[in-house]
């Protein structure tokens, strides 16, 4: 699986959009980008995933660059409950859904 690079931490103001970057410059054509988050020692929670196209759901938007070497997770209106560690994961179809978590980005949403 391709390696991902994320900032260790970032702060965000409540009510503002949170843009979380992820670099995956070695991604190959059949690898998907997944985002999960973990709120204070709870089990990780799925957010969104994509292959090539931008994706949006009720939680967030995922913007993948045209060359697919990086992506951005956007939380449109961050709330205090969005404070969590956010994991960007790249996995290929052959690996099934055996996810390999990295260090993630610790996001602190401030009032």
Contact range with other proteins by CB under 8 A, out of 17-25, 34-42, 65-73, 74-82:
34-42
101 binds other proteins, rule: CB under 8 A: yes
HEC profile of the chain: CCCCECCCEEEEECCCCEEEEEECCCCCCCEEEEEEEECCCCCCEEEEEECCCCEECCCCEEEECCCCCEEEEEECCCCHHHCEEEEEEEEEHHHCCCCCCCCCEEEEEEC
When asked if residue 29 is in the footprint of other proteins (CB under 8 A), the reply is no
By the rule CB under 8 A, 70 interacts with other proteins = no
From the CB of 46, what's the least distance to other proteins, in Å? 4
Which residues form the interface with other proteins (CB under 8 A)? Answer: 32, 36, 38, 41-46, 49, 87, 91-93, 95-103
């Amino acid at each position: 699986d391709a390696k991902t690079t994320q900032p260790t931490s970032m702060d965000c103001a409540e009510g503002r959009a949170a843009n979380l970057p992820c670099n995956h410059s070695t991604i190959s054509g059949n690898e998907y980008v997944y985002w999960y988050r973990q709120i204070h020692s709870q089990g990780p929670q799925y957010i969104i995933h994509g292959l090539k196209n931008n994706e949006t759901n009720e939680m967030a938007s995922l913007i993948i660059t045209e060359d697919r070497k990086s992506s951005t997770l956007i939380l449109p209106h961050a709330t205090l409950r969005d404070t969590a560690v956010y994991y960007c994961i790249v996995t290929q179809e052959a690996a099934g859904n055996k996810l390999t978590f990295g260090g993630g980005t610790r996001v602190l949403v401030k009032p």
